C-alpha cells in the first residue's frame, strides 16, 4: 500500500504534466492572435479561439491551486485532505482542457478542410478526450470501489511529514509551474517579433511588455529555491530552506497571475476591439486566480485555526 508521502508526490507529478500542457496551450493561444493567419479567420472562429484561451486559464487556475493549498492550508504537510483536494481539482480541470482540445481541432480542420469536416473532427476530439479522461476511469473504477473503501482508512493514514519530504515536495511544486512558465515566456518573446504585434495600440504593447516582465519574475522566483539550496545551504535540508522555498513558490503565483491576465487583456482587446470589455475579463481572470489560490486557501486555514482553538478551549474547560 502506498504511503501518504508517496501519494502526495504522485499527485503533484500528475498535476505537473497537466500544468505544462495547459501553459503551452495558453502560450500558443496568446501568440496565435499575432499571426497573419489569425486575421484571415472568420470573426466567429476568432471568438471561438478566444473562448478556448479563457477555458485554459480556468484550467490553469485549478491546476495550480493544490500547490497553494499544500503550502497555505497544510503548511507543507501531507494529508488525506490534500490528496482528495488535488484529485478533485484535477478532475475539474480536465473538463475545460477537453473542450479546448475540441475547439483547437475544429479550428485546425476549419482552415484545412472547411466547416463540413471541421465540426465532426472537433466533436470526435472532444468525445475522445472525455472518454479517456472520465468515461474509462468511471468504468474501471466502479468494480474496485468497494475494495478501495475498505482500504481507504489504512491508505490515507496521516503518518506525519518529515522535513526531507516537505523540501522535496515544495521543490517539486516549483518544478510543477516552472516549465510551463518558461514556455509561456518563450511565446511572449516570439510574439514581439511578429507583424501583428507592431500593429497593436501602444497601450496593448505596453501591457504585453509588462506581462513579459511579470512572467520573467515568476521564473526567477521559482528557480530561487534551487539556488538557495545549493549556495546557501550547500545541499543540506533545513527548515530555513523549506520556509524560503514555500515563500518563493507562493510569491511566484502573484506575478504569474498578473502576467497571464495582462496578456489576456491584450488578446481580448485585439480580437473583440473592446478595451473596456478586455479589461473586465482580465480583471475577472485575476479574481479567479487570486480567489482560488489565496482567498479560498486562507479562508480554509483561518477556519482550521478557529476549529483548533475552539477544541483546545473545550478540552481545557473539561
Confidence at residue 147, expressed as pLDDT on a 0 to 100 scale: 52
Q: Where are the beta strands (DSSP E) in 164-239?
A: none
Higher confidence at residue 25 or residue 142?
25
- What the block records as the C-alpha cell of 158 is 496521516
pLDDT for 190 equals 87
Kindly state the average pLDDT of the residues 209-226: 94
Average pLDDT taken over every residue of the chain = 86
Residue pair 256/26 in contact by the 8 Å Cβ criterion: no
User: Which region among 25-34, 119-128, 301-310 has the lowest average model confidence (pLDDT)?
Assistant: 301-310
pLDDT score of 160: 64
Q: What cell does 4 get?
A: 501518504
Q: How high is the pLDDT of residue 1?
A: 41
Alpha carbon distance 184, 271 (integer Å): 20
CB half-sphere exposure, 98, CA atoms < 13 A = 19
Q: What is the pLDDT of residue 143?
A: 57
d(CA 201, CA 223): 34
- At a CB cut-off of 8 Å and minimum separation 6, what does 246 contact? 71, 76, 170
Average pLDDT over residues 88-109: 93
pTM over 0.85: yes
Q: For residue 277, give every residue at least 6 positions away whose Cβ sits within 8 Å of its Cβ, in sequence order, or none.
A: 268
Could you identify the residue written with the cell 474501471? 140
pLDDT digits (tens, 9 = 90+) for 219-269: 999 999 999 998 998 888 889 999 999 999 999 999 999 999 999 999 999
Say what angle helices 163-192 and 202-227 make with each other, to 10 degrees.
150
Specify the pLDDT at position 104.
93
Q: How many CA atoms lie within 13 A of 136 on its CB side?
A: 7
pLDDT category at 153 given cuts 50, 70, 90 is very low
Q: What is the DSSP string of 108-121?
A: HHHHHT-HHHHHHH
Section 33-50 average pLDDT? 90
Share of the chain above pLDDT 70, in %: 92
pLDDT tens for each residue of 276-291: 999 999 999 999 999 9
Highest mean pLDDT among 69-78, 131-140, 300-309: 69-78
CA–CA distance, 111 with 115 (Å, rounded to integer): 8
Return the pLDDT at 82: 87
Of the listed ranges 19-28, 40-49, 111-120, the one predicted with least confidence? 19-28
Longest dimension (CA), the chain: 76
How many percent of the chain have pLDDT more than 90?
A: 48
pLDDT average, residue stretch 197-203: 90
pLDDT at 316 over 80: no
DSSP secondary structure, 13-32, as one string = HHHHHHHHHHHHHHHHHHHH
Which segment of 127-141, 205-219, 229-243, 258-272 scores lowest on mean pLDDT?
A: 127-141
CA distance 139 to 211: 43
Residue 154 has pLDDT above 60, yes or no: no
Q: Are 43 and 271 in contact (CB under 8 A)?
A: no
Amino acid at each position: 500500500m502506498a504511503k501518504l508521502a508517496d501519494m502526495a508526490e504522485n499527485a503533484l507529478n500528475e498535476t505537473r504534466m497537466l500544468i505544462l500542457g495547459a501553459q503551452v496551450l495558453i502560450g500558443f493561444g496568446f501568440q496565435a492572435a499575432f499571426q497573419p493567419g489569425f486575421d484571415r479567420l472568420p470573426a466567429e472562429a476568432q471568438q471561438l479561439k478566444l473562448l478556448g484561451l479563457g477555458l485554459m486559464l480556468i484550467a490553469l487556475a485549478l491546476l495550480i491551486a493544490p500547490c497553494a493549498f499544500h503550502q497555505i492550508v497544510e503548511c507543507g504537510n501531507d494529508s488525506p485532505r490534500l490528496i482528495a483536494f488535488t484529485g478533485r481539482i484535477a478532475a475539474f480541470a480536465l473538463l475545460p482542457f477537453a473542450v479546448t482540445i475540441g475547439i483547437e481541432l475544429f479550428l485546425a480542420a476549419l482552415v484545412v478542410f472547411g466547416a463540413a469536416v471541421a465540426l465532426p473532427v472537433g466533436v470526435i476530439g472532444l468525445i475522445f478526450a472525455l472518454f479517456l479522461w472520465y468515461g474509462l476511469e468511471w468504468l474501471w473504477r466502479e468494480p474496485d470501489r468497494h475494495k478501495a473503501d475498505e482500504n481507504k482508512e489504512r491508505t490515507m493514514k496521516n503518518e506525519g511529514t518529515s522535513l526531507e519530504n516537505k523540501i522535496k515536495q515544495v521543490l517539486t511544486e516549483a518544478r510543477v509551474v516552472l516549465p510551463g512558465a518558461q514556455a509561456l515566456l518563450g511565446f511572449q518573446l516570439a510574439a514581439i517579433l511578429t507583424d501583428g504585434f507592431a500593429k497593436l495600440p501602444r497601450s496593448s504593447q505596453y501591457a504585453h511588455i509588462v506581462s513579459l516582465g511579470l512572467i520573467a519574475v515568476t521564473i526567477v522566483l521559482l528557480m530561487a529555491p534551487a539556488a538557495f539550496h545549493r549556495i546557501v545551504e550547500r545541499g543540506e535540508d533545513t527548515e530555513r530552506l523549506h520556509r524560503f522555498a514555500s515563500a518563493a513558490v507562493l510569491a511566484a503565483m502573484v506575478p504569474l497571475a498578473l502576467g497571464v491576465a495582462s496578456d489576456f487583456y491584450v488578446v481580448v482587446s485585439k480580437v473583440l476591439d473592446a478595451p473596456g470589455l478586455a479589461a473586465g475579463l482580465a480583471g475577472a481572470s485575476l479574481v479567479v486566480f487570486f480567489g482560488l489560490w489565496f482567498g479560498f486557501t486562507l479562508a480554509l486555514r483561518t477556519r482550521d485555526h478557529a476549529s483548533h482553538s475552539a477544541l483546545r478551549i473545550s478540552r481545557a474547560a473539561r
